[in-house]
Amino acid sequence: MEFLRRDLNPEQLVDLYRRLLWPRMIEEKMLVLLRQGRISKWFSGIGQEAIAVGATMALQPDEWIMPLHRNLGVFTTRDMPLSRLFKQWQGAQDGYSKGRERSFHFGAREHHICGMISHLGPQLAIADGVALAHKLRKEDKVSLAFTGDGGTSEGDFHEALNTAAVWDLPVIFIIENNGYGLSTPVSEQYRCAQLADRARGYGMESVVIDGNNILEVYDTLRGVREYCIREQKPYLVECMTFRMRGHEEAYGTKYVPKELFEQWAEKDPIANYERWLQQEGLLTAAAIEEIRNDYKTKIESELRIGFDSAPIVVDTELELKDVYAAHPQPLPKGGKGEGPGVSGEERPGVRFIDALKEGLQLSMERHANLVLMGQDIAGYGGAFKITEGFVERFGKGRVRNTPLCESAIVGAALGLSLEGFKSMMEMQFADFVTVGFNQIINNLAKIHYRWGQNADVVIRMPTGGGVGAGPFHSQSNEAWFVHTPGLKVVYPATPEDAKGLLIAAFNDPNPVLYFEHKALYRSVSGPVPEGYYETPIGKARVAREGEDLTVITYGSGVHWALEYAEANPGISLHILDLRTLLPLDYEAIRAAVIKTGKVLLLHEDTLVGGIAGELSAWIAEHCFEHLDGPVLRCASLDTPVPFNLELEKNFLAKARLGSYVEKLMAY
């Protein structure tokens, strides 16, 4: 192994040695503790330390790193106290995640480390978002994301690299090619000669380096960092290395040929560097001994603190509270907030789509740090023309066309949030959220609970049927998200709420799924106050006062119920518009049940697993004594949404609303 000193002075060369040795000695101790059953499992980075350490050393301490499961060297090089890391691995209250996360699946803002979720690939696009923040602020900074060779087979790898290339983002992507993904050798993972070759396909520069040579890693990464900042472009670095232990200890290494271990032991990053330092007269055997002894003592003392954690105190209230970031006080309704265009006067007859557009525009004016992203939303104005004219007004930086890659854009939105930006992503159709699902459910929704980082993201979801658009442009999928703690789900039915809830969604620091029914865009008009106001998230509204029967509904269901009431003056319907589906307004639901004692739950979503099931259970549990009949659910058929208008009409819950009302009235 050839080491090139370049411009590094003796202190720097020895410092690199210390940084490299520290995670190795920690892990060697951890292996002993694991055998003694004193710590829980982790994924070993033994043999790969030069990559994590060299790359982290090449960055500024305030540049974000997205490490993976074998990157202890990132955490130690960012000077995380070992005692607290031990607490983290023990699941202690005073670790980095209050006992909620394992090994390296956590982040820490003070160290600019954004920890992984188990799914590996989603890490990469977060770095895109951070780099976009730097680019928009014209800062000379990069972000850096790690992946293993296995992770490069995920779609997230492709999406993140392609987006970084298309948007000219200063991101460094590092592949740690360690020969195996669990038991799968690279020959069963990819067919290119080197993974770095893929960069060409993205229009990106790349390099393959010896990942076991600390000076090569450090020097390359310093140069790559300068390149990314100077050229405002991403760069792919493939580091060749080897996994010297099992995937994790319990998996063993039987599937790896013994000769490979022998070959790679010769290339050990620490032994080789240590030897070179001695040959160069930069370290003596005695000095090495001293460093090692110091580290041993330090490990023991840090361990004592680490194992000295108080037993965890289970506090259900705190567990529930930490799922969401604290919300600043909502603005008063009716335009009483300060800001441009505030008068609070109501205008009759504003279309749903125009109200929504107004809310978006006012939010862009209010929040200079709000970035909009979506397919075709810039010059074209979006599939539904909601952002028409925005790019002229707010510029291409803040109104961004995206490549066709929902997962990367949700990931980038999270990255923007790490840097204090707000963002909106427009799903072209709510149906396409399936390909961004993982990022929403596992990254956005869980990050605040896991390590206190909020995801200040609004995802707009043009949803619903009734427009003859078939199974993949008509679905109601709000129930998927209502089942996910950490998200908020809003679903306006009126123009006034479309505007107010959108403004509220942007003011909320949590991830909000904003459902907007496509069929309401141009068919529904109503009074809308001028200026900037919020419709509070989590508050339902009575859409119609009535005496005979309560309909609890949202979205298009509100209009179906109002239409029915209008056409059937003999039955006095009380209609509750939920407006927010997560969190639900239980007080308003209870009041609506008490009002008539007869409850019909109505939604456009299909029946099984729909929100009506949840509401029905809650009403049965909490309002049983107020009921004069069974709680009925009127929902769409349990089929995909059909294309033919007659079939779709029959599919939709509206077709059966009358018969359900009559059935319930008969009690």
Ligand X SMILES: Cc1ncc(C[n+]2csc(CCOP(=O)(O)OP(=O)(O)O)c2C)c(N)n1
The dihedral of CA 457, 409, 584, 486: what is its sign?
negative
Q: Tell me: does residue 36 bind ligand X (CB under 6 A).
A: no
Q: What are phi and psi of 398, to 5 degrees?
A: -95, -15
The answer to whether the CB of 657 falls within 8 A of the CB of 602 is yes
Interface positions, 53-72, toward ligand X (CB under 6 A): 70
Q: Which is nearer to ligand X, 141 or 243 (CB)?
A: 243
Q: Which is nearer to ligand X, 150 or 466 (CB)?
A: 150
| Cα–Cα distance list, 18 to 33, 420, 627 (Å) | 23, 34, 71
Rounded distance, CA 292 to CA 17, Å? 11
Chain position whose Cβ is nearest to ligand X: 148
> Smallest distance, Å, CB 251 to ligand X?
10
The site that binds ligand X (CB under 6 A) totals a number of residues, namely 14
Of residues 150, 335, 436, 526, which one binds ligand X by CB under 6 A? Answer: 150
Binding to ligand X by CB under 6 A, coded x per residue (else -) over 476-515, reads ----------------------------------------
The answer to whether the CB of 70 falls within 8 A of the CB of 41 is no
**What kind and span of H or E run contains 460?**
strand 457-463
Q: Tell me: does residue 159 bind ligand X (CB under 6 A).
A: no
Q: Tell me: does residue 180 bind ligand X (CB under 6 A).
A: yes
Rounded distance, CA 317 to CA 500, Å? 30
The answer to whether the CB of 493 falls within 8 A of the CB of 543 is yes
Of residues 24, 243, 422, 473, which one binds ligand X by CB under 6 A? Answer: 243
Q: Which is nearer to ligand X, 198 or 243 (CB)?
A: 243
Q: Tell me: does residue 125 bind ligand X (CB under 6 A).
A: no
Binding to ligand X by CB under 6 A, coded x per residue (else -) over 244-283, reads ---x------------------------------------
Q: Tell me: does residue 47 bind ligand X (CB under 6 A).
A: no
Q: Which is nearer to ligand X, 120 or 611 (CB)?
A: 120
**Which range, of 178-186, 216-224, 285-293, 359-367, touches ligand X by CB under 6 A?**
178-186
Of residues 73, 99, 148, 382, which one binds ligand X by CB under 6 A? Answer: 148
The answer to whether the CB of 169 falls within 8 A of the CB of 124 is no
In our burial notation (b when 16+ CB lie closer than 10 A, e otherwise), range 591-627 reads bbbebbbbbbbbbbbbeeebbbebbbebbeeebeeeb
Q: Which of 29, 27, 55 is nearest to 43 (CA)?
A: 27
Around 36, how many Cα atoms within 13 Å sit in the side-chain half-sphere?
8
Of residues 107, 181, 526, 555, which one binds ligand X by CB under 6 A? Answer: 181
> Smallest distance, Å, CB 573 to ligand X?
48
**Which range, of 89-97, 112-120, 215-223, 631-639, touches ligand X by CB under 6 A?**
112-120
| Cα–Cα distance list, 496 to 352, 529, 534, 594, 640 (Å) | 8, 7, 10, 27, 31
Q: Tell me: does residue 157 bind ligand X (CB under 6 A).
A: no
> Smallest distance, Å, CB 5 to ligand X?
30
If DSSP codes are grouped into helix, strand and coil, which group holds residue 176?
Answer: strand
Q: Which two tokens stand for residue 646?
A: 């007659």
> Smallest distance, Å, CB 43 to ligand X?
6
Q: Tell me: does residue 149 bind ligand X (CB under 6 A).
A: yes
Q: Which is nearer to ligand X, 103 or 143 (CB)?
A: 103
Catalytically annotated residue among 111, 158, 473, 517? 473
Sequence-distant (6+) residues with CB within 8 A of 60 are 141
Q: Interior CA angle at 152 toward 148 and 153, to 5°?
A: 125
Of residues 2, 6, 118, 281, which one binds ligand X by CB under 6 A? Answer: 118
Q: Is residue 473 flagged as an active site residue?
A: yes
> Smallest distance, Å, CB 194 to ligand X?
15
Q: Could you list the active site residues?
A: 473
Residues of this chain that bind ligand X (CB under 6 A): 70, 118-120, 148-151, 178, 180-182, 243, 247
